[in-house]
Structure formats: C-alpha cells, structure tokens
C-alpha cells in the first residue's frame, strides 16, 4: 500500500455537458462510485464516456450538475485542486526525461523536498514492478513498461481517485491482456477508487467491479459484468456486451416458448411476445430423446478449441460457438436438433 493514499467516493448528480445549443455529450447523469471500486464507463464512440471522465478530472467544466468527492462538490474546482489524476491513452511521457524524472515530475512541480521525492518515486516504481529501470528513457522501454511508468507517475502523487482513459489501446492484444491484469491486481491491492474508460467489451468485463454502459450521453445500464452479460436491460446492451442472437418468442410468466421449444424461466418481464436473447455459447446439440429446435447448418468453422456454427432456424439466423476438440459434429447443409442452456438466455421486450 502506498503511504498516504486515501481513496474517495465519487458521486455525479444531474451531470450535464452540452456543446453548443443542442449537443449533449453527457445528459443528466447520476452515478455513485464506492470507495475502492473500479468502475468502467463503456460504450461506442460518441456515447459520452470520455467526456464524463474528463469532467471528473476537471479537464472539462460541466454545464450543470455536481461532482462530489467524499461529499465535497468539486465541479467548479480546477483539476490541480481535486486530488484526481489520469493515466492517458498516449502515456504522455517526456521523451527527454528518464523514468525517475518522469515519475517525479508532479512532485517537483509541487516543490516537494528532494528526499521525499526520492522515497516516493522509489515506492511507486516498486509498486508497478519497475525497480532497476529508473535511469532508462521511454525509448528504451517496451509499450507495457511505458504504461507502467505512466501508472507510477499517477500513483506517486497519492490521488484520491485514479482515472484511466483507454490506457491499453496502444498495446498489442497479448500485451494488453497482461497489462490489464496488472492494473486490476494493483488497483485491488491499493484499494484505490478508479474510473476506467474503454470501448472494449472484453476488457471492461475482465477488469471491473461494475460497468456503466452509456449511449448518447445517458446511462443505459449499470451492473456487475455478470449481470450485464446475463441480464441486459435492453437490446442495445445485449448487442454491445458480447455476441447475441435475438429470436421472437412468448413468455407466460413461467415458461419461454421458442418455436414450440419450451423451458422454465423466471424473469421480471411482462407476459406475452418477447425477444429471446440467446448467447452463442447457449446453443448445443440435443439428444434424440429430448425436446429440441429443428435447424439447418448454414456454415461450420472449426477453430480447434471451438467450432462456430451458423444455423437457419425457421428463416432466422442463429450463431453458436460450441467448445470441445475434434472435428465438427455437423457440416453445411445438415439438418440438426438444438437445445439451449437456460443460464445464457434472457428475455427482452418484443421488438
């Protein structure tokens, strides 16, 4: 734990950011972030997630509303008075400075004593696993090491809230996965309140305590990664978080009826016509002695650990991912019988 680190709660109340007369980047957003929580703002480009982050950081001024850190409204305070710091997408490292000087920069601007700067930089570098690299320049570091320097520079000033603006987008896929695991482990170890912005659904699910899905400046849904994936509140959320099929069905309050295939289901959805959301991993081949959905194989792609199928179900496409080694169990043109795993099925209002 970094000494002197005192994480804050964050609360947004009626937060609005308008550009011009009619463009609302953030529109009347209410949100509470618990002390020590890692919350991710997720959504497509233009949804307002980055603007919301910049409002918390003090890099944008709100049109209306409050931003509270531990019940103190900081919405009108400049960024340097908020005890909030951001890890940027571009790292923003000074190329002419070595690692030590990059991390120490904020402390030197604050005119901290030399001995304190040395101790705090050493502590921050140890936290991110960069001991022994203090005298290297950014050009002598890998992308992952540069990201750690940016993280150490943010931590060294002991912020109350740590903000991440798509911090992994400049890394390749393999390195991105490793660095996101490092960020999550460090955040949990420090217990620092963190707000993370990304457009990558997998990244958001892997790293977050809760995820906020945004669309056109408003919040579509807030929940744990599991809640958002298994019980999306709208077709937009279901379609944005992972892959999903949408099929017409009926619900009587106790059972789902999908093309005559019925199974018990409990969900707070009005009885009547519904849209049945089916995740690709919910589909599997049925045994001969159990109820099933009749389908035709449109395509089958064997990927080693899994096979991706596209089925035709009464004129509607159904995409499926079936795990397991070996050759594909069915081929293009085959007639097959399918069953669904209830845990990966959810109901939405009918289109």
Mean pLDDT across 232-249:
94
Domain span at 164: 10-235
pLDDT in tens, 45-82: 999 999 999 999 999 999 999 999 999 999 999 998 99
Q: Can you spell out the DSSP letters for 261-282?
A: EEEE---S--SEEEEEEE-GGG
Q: Specify whether 191 is located in the same domain as 299.
A: no
Q: Of 176, 202, 235, which closes a domain?
A: 235
Q: Specify whether 176 is located in the same domain as 308.
A: no
Q: Specify whether 194 is located in the same domain as 332.
A: no
Is residue 2 one of the residues assigned to a domain? no
Mean pLDDT across 138-148:
90
Has residue 305 got a pLDDT over 90?
Answer: no
Mean pLDDT across 325-338:
81
Q: Specify whether 257 is located in the same domain as 343.
A: yes
The tokens for 65 are 């509303």
Residue 134's domain is classified under what CATH number?
3.40.50.300
Give the pLDDT score at 2: 60
Mean pLDDT across 191-213:
95
Q: Specify whether 265 is located in the same domain as 339.
A: yes
Q: Specify whether 249 is located in the same domain as 109.
A: no
Q: Specify whether 298 is located in the same domain as 226.
A: no
Q: Of 186, 216, 235, which closes a domain?
A: 235
pLDDT in tens, 268-302: 999 999 999 999 999 999 988 888 999 999 999 98
Strand segments, DSSP code E, in the chain are 10-19, 23-33, 38-42, 64-69, 72-73, 84-87, 161-165, 193-198, 210-215, 218-223, 245-251, 255-258, 261-264, 272-278, 283-285, 293-302, 306-313, 316-323, 335-340, 345-349
Longest dimension (CA), the chain: 78
Q: Specify whether 230 is located in the same domain as 186.
A: yes
Q: Specify whether 51 is located in the same domain as 169.
A: yes
Report the number of distinct structural domains present in the chain: 2
Separation in Å, CA 234 to CA 42, 52, 108, 317, 348: 15, 22, 49, 20, 6
Q: Of 180, 203, 235, which closes a domain?
A: 235
Q: Specify whether 84 is located in the same domain as 222.
A: yes
């Amino acid at each position: 734990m970094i000494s002197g680190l005192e994480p804050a709660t964050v609360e947004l109340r009626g937060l609005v950011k308008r550009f011009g007369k009619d463009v609302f980047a953030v529109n009347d957003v209410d949100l509470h972030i618990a002390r020590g929580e890692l919350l991710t703002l997720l959504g497509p480009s233009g949804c307002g997630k980055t603007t919301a982050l910049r409002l918390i950081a003090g890099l944008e001024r709100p049109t209306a509303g409050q931003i509270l850190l531990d019940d103190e409204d900081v919405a009108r305070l400049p960024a340097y008075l908020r005890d909030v710091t951001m890890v940027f997408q571009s790292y923003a490292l000074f190329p002419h400075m070595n690692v030590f000087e990059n991390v120490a920069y904020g402390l030197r601007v604050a005119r901290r004593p030399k001995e304190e700067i040395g101790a705090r930089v050493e502590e921050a570098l140890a936290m991110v696993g960069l001991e022994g690299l203090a005298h290297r320049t950014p050009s002598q570091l890998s992308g992952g090491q540069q990201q750690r320097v940016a993280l150490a520079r943010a931590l060294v000033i002991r912020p109350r809230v740590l903000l991440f603006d798509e911090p992994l987008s400049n890394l390749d896929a393999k390195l991105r996965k490793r660095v996101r695991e490092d960020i999550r482990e460090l955040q949990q170890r420090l217990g620092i309140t963190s707000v993370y912005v990304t457009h990558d659904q997998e990244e958001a699910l892997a790293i977050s305590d809760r995820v906020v899905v945004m669309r056109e400046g408003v919040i579509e849904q807030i929940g744990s990664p599991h809640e958002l994936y298994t019980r999306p509140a709208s077709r937009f959320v279901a379609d944005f978080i992972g892959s999903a099929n949408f099929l017409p069905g009926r619900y009587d309050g106790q059972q789902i009826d999908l093309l005559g295939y019925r199974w018990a289901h409990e969900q707070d959805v009005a009885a009547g016509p519904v849209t049945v959301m089916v995740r690709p991993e919910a589909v599997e081949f049925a045994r001969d002695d159990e109820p099933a959905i009749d389908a035709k194989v449109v395509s089958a792609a064997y990927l080693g650990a899994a096979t991706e199928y596209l089925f035709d179900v009464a004129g509607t496409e159904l995409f499926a991912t079936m795990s397991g080694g070996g050759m594909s169990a069915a081929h293009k043109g085959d007639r097959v019988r399918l069953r669904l795993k209830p845990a990966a099925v959810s109901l939405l209002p009918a289109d």
